[in-house]
Structure 1
Amino acid sequence: MSTPETRATYAVSFCKAMADIDRDEWNALALPAATPFLEWEWLNLLETSGSVSMRTGWYPVHVLVRDAERLVACAPMYVKGHGEGEFVFDHLWAEVSRRMGIPYYPKLLGASPFTPATGYRFLMAPDQDERRLCLVIMEALEKLCAANALSGISFLFVDPRFAAILRDLGMRSWLHQGYIWDNPGYRSLDDYLARFGSLARKNVKRERRRLRDQGIQVRLYAAPDIPERLFADMHRFYAATNDKFGDYGCRYLTEEFFDALPGLPRNRVAFVAAYQDENPDPMAMAMLIRKGDRLNGRYWGATRHVDYLHFELCYYTPIAWAIEQGIRLYDPGMGGEHKARRGFVSIPTVSLHRFRDPRFEHVFLGNLPEINSLERDYINELNALLPFKRGPGP
């Protein structure tokens, strides 16, 4: 890759492995961030487990910025030879590029792999000029692209403040629909359901009762009190769910990834498990990742289909636990309109893009306003399905 670039006292370099970066230096910048998915332990685990590698099409080129010896900014970056595992579905753009005779891959990507959760940004020391450092990094990334024939730069599921800065530096916003559950201070799950219309509230209670009537019990295990065997169980459920979707699945995480999850910082991981009758083995599981007052739903699976089981493990039990724990925001992940009908508000999420070839950049920018307008319409349509008595607000 290209050699380090300098601007004033800043020196920008690229690193091909998190293991080669000092954990404490990186985390000094990552731990204050709201998202857990930019922390050294998470990113390093993806690489050391073999989930992120040349073999899987994710080649790390993490950016580091130093002022003298001090690390003042960093960010996970990857060279991608395909568009899989991103959850920003740019296959259409890749096809347009192919028809124009312009290579779309390889490309340079800023993201936390396989993680459709808002929060990506350049991590920076609080005493630095944020806009200036962003400009320094973007100049270095553009030179990296030119030196290595990369088609352009993209950032996925971007933090809103970071997005505003990079738009000023020439990046363009592509909107995507996402979900969020907001807790204004509920006292219990019943308190939350009291906001629902009567029919919607009765449906939720009926769904939960149907599971109990079948002898299904649901338990939530939070770190550090998670039984060790559940980590291996979670891998089996994750693999089975992704295998079910075939080419549309996202099976990148290895068994080694789940085996090493207990090494994440304390209180990051939680599991929701369902059991039937006296069977000690779970029939279904969901995985949650927590940081502070934010909760993220990640993966789920079941040994067999049971009506409403997915809703209980991925929505109702996590929401009840979030209320108990004082968690403010719960991002349940991507999905269809069934989330809206259970109270998850649709919101715009943002990816940022810039392409080196001016012909393709022209086509992209020419179509982006209409694409974003259609996505806003879709968000409004989903929010029209919300079950609340009066709108999505508190």
Structure 2
Amino acid sequence: MNTPASWTIRWLDSIAQVDREQWDKLAVPLQTPLMEWQWLHHLEASGSISPRFGWQPRHLTVWDRGELIGAAPLYQKNHSDGEFIFDHWWAQLAAEYGADYYPKLVGMSPATPSVGYRFLIAEGVDQPGLMNIMLSYIDRFCQQEQLASCHLNFVDLPWFAQMPSHGFIGWRHQSYMWKNLNFGCFEDYLKTFKSTQRHNICRERRRMQKYGIDIRAFTGNTITSDFAALMYRYYLKTNASYGPWAARFLNGDFFKRIFRDYRHRLLIFAAFAGSSVPIAMSMLLVKDRHLIGRYWGCEAPVKDLHFNMCFYAPIQWAIDNGIDTFDPGAGSPHKIYRGFKAVANTSLHRLYDLRLKFLFEQLIDKVNDMIQADIDALNRQLPFAKGETSKARPD
């Protein structure tokens, strides 16, 4: 498809070069908040996501007579940190065959392992046609800049289903999702479990009362600016506990900005124990009927506090507020025992070295089958009462 004469293609090195209103006209209708201008802008403006740390913004935009009709948040990188796709072994394989894997072009909401990435396309525009044009310009850009590959991570599944293949190879990954089965209260959620796990969850919740811990939810204007520094402090403490495997990608200025300007998308849980200063906090994003868990941390370890701050309190809030789905974040198989089902997500990969492309194509079906087997094995451990497992399957 030829590019219409009235269309202009622009590559941008900062999302600040796009008017927020124009960008959000395309992004706000989506289920995810992670493609919205403020979220992406604060990642960049804070310096958390920047060339200094190996994230060079290369946003593709399409304009029709001054109106933004298409956009793809993209970043040029020489490493895979902060992607949560864990493709380092593909990079090692490439090196063994004398092929280049880096530099690469990456499409995702940086440092955020949550499904929802897609090209932003204006309503009324020929979506398949514009996607083909954008993919062609991505190919051209990668060739001009001598980039070895292009990767689209945590893609929106309905968008993926209608996306032209354009040489991209799909790689399956495992994540978790909780679904609200029209629960009227937390007790309805508990009833889905086998008795042993139901008692375990009740015991873990009662332990907060035993320790005199009160967990409260904050949204919108009830979120104070004082929370930003404390959330960042706890974020650092959590990362410190993981040593060399930490996922510390954000700085204090990012939290300051988000707590100041993005409170309408934040859900904060704070745990109090006889003081006005929280001993623990968790930060989630909420949009429409979807909840996304992001960060948590505490002053000192307290048994079962993590489960309450990151699972039970958000699930209680989700039930009370008509939330349909809750993405708790990456990792940790203990989520299975709290009613989060293992689900598949997809990343897409375009490899310009024909040798590496051939190897990827030869191996990917086996890799995907292995991932699906892991997902199935995890879901066999779901502690639901008889007849509840099938109900817990997300759409």
| Alpha-carbon displacement from aligned partner over 1:209-252 (angstroms, at most 9, x marks no partner) | 12211112211111221132111100001111112222211111
Letter in 1 for 2:363: N
**Matching residue of 1:378:** 374
**Matching residue of 1:303:** 299
**Matching residue of 1:284:** 280
Q: Which consecutive aligned stretches of 4+ in structure 1 deviate over 6 angstroms post-superposition? A: none
CA contact (8 A) 2:27 2:36 kept: yes
| Structure 2 CA distance for aligned equivalents of residues 303 and 84 of structure 1 | 27
| Structure 2 CA distance for aligned equivalents of residues 203 and 167 of structure 1 | 47
| Structure 2 CA distance for aligned equivalents of residues 237 and 248 of structure 1 | 17
| Structure 2 CA distance for aligned equivalents of residues 101 and 169 of structure 1 | 25
CA contact (8 A) 1:6 1:12 kept: no
Letter in 2 for 1:321: W
**Matching residue of 1:55:** 52
**Matching residue of 2:81:** 84
**Matching residue of 2:321:** 325
1:342 alignment partner, one of 338, 346, 355: 338
Letter in 2 for 1:280: S
| Structure 2 CA distance for aligned equivalents of residues 227 and 25 of structure 1 | 29
CA contact (8 A) 2:227 2:259 kept: no
**Matching residue of 1:64:** 61
| Structure 1 CA distance for aligned equivalents of residues 102 and 234 of structure 2 | 32
2:358 alignment partner, one of 362, 365, 370: 362
Number of residue pairs matched? 389
**Matching residue of 2:24:** 27
| Structure 2 CA distance for aligned equivalents of residues 159 and 49 of structure 1 | 26
TM-score normalised by the chain length of structure 1: 0.96
**Structure 2 unpaired stretches of 5+:** none
CA contact (8 A) 1:42 1:264 kept: no
CA shift at 1:265, angstroms? 4.4
2:170 alignment partner, one of 165, 173, 192: 173
CA shift at 1:161, angstroms? 2.0
**Matching residue of 1:130:** 127
| Structure 1 CA distance for aligned equivalents of residues 262 and 214 of structure 2 | 29
Structure-to-structure mapping, 1:233-252, within 5 angstroms: 233-252=230-249
Say yes or no: does 1:203 pair with 2:200.
Answer: yes
**Matching residue of 1:393:** 391
**Matching residue of 2:159:** 162
CA shift at 1:381, angstroms? 0.9
Say yes or no: does 1:185 pair with 2:175.
Answer: no
| Alpha-carbon displacement from aligned partner over 1:194-215 (angstroms, at most 9, x marks no partner) | 1111111000001111221111
| Structure 2 CA distance for aligned equivalents of residues 81 and 243 of structure 1 | 25
What is the DSSP-based 3-state SS (H/G/I as helix, E as strand, rest coil) of the residue aligned with 2:224?
A: coil
CA shift at 1:184, angstroms? 2.5
CA shift at 1:388, angstroms? 1.1
| Structure 2 CA distance for aligned equivalents of residues 14 and 6 of structure 1 | 15
Say yes or no: does 1:229 pair with 2:223.
Answer: no
| Structure 2 CA distance for aligned equivalents of residues 255 and 143 of structure 1 | 37
Letter in 2 for 1:50: G
Letter in 2 for 1:347: V
**Structure 1 unpaired stretches of 5+:** none
CA shift at 1:336, angstroms? 1.9
Aligned-residue sequence identity (percent) comes to 39
| Structure 2 CA distance for aligned equivalents of residues 356 and 7 of structure 1 | 27
Say yes or no: does 1:275 pair with 2:269.
Answer: no
CA shift at 1:303, angstroms? 1.8
| Aligned-residue RMSD, C-alpha | 1.4
CA shift at 1:167, angstroms? 5.0
CA shift at 1:279, angstroms? 2.4
| Structure 1 CA distance for aligned equivalents of residues 166 and 350 of structure 2 | 10
What is the DSSP-based 3-state SS (H/G/I as helix, E as strand, rest coil) of the residue aligned with 2:47?
A: coil
CA contact (8 A) 1:167 1:173 kept: no
TM-score normalised by the chain length of structure 2: 0.96
